[in-house]
Amino acid sequence: MAALVLQEGDTASASMVVTENDTALALAVMTEDDFPEVLATSRMIAVMELAAARGLASLLKAGELSVGVGINIQHLAATPKYDVVQAVAKYVGREGKLYKFTIEAFDSGGKIGEGTHTRAIVNTERLLAGAANRMRGN
């Protein structure tokens, strides 16, 4: 049964082990692209978003999901392969239909990222139909 209220200060988390596929080097598209073999910023952001999404899970009704609509993140330190990254999202309030979070990410050496993230709860079918219509130019 879905919770009716999300309290300010509530937290949720997500974690991952950094693999080769999660590194900045894995994002290279051309041979000239040269990136380090450390956690890519985009993968750090993904685990941060996952933590916030988990924070909203109890509010979702059948046929709904939450989507990210805004993010402001700083990547503070590099994380090597095979280390564990954990993100913690703290709910800080609602503005209209938007749910706001502060998010931090950590590895075994300490904090690696921080920032804010905003999510919305949407109807899954409506979201997918809107995306398809946009591709058809409607």
User: Which listed residue (11, 37, 41, 102) is catalytic?
Assistant: 41
Nearest to 10 by CA among 47, 74, 57, 73: 57
- Cβ(33)–Cβ(20) under 8 Å? no
The sign one gets for the Cα dihedral 124, 128, 131, 134 is: negative
Query: If phi over 0 gives left and psi between -120 and 50 gives alpha, with beta otherwise, what is residue 92?
Result: alpha
49 is catalytic: yes
- Cβ(77)–Cβ(106) under 8 Å? no
User: Which listed residue (49, 79, 104, 117) is catalytic?
Assistant: 49
Return the residue matching tokens 């219509």. Answer: 133
75 is catalytic: yes
CA 44 to chain centre: 8
Catalytic residues: 41, 49, 75
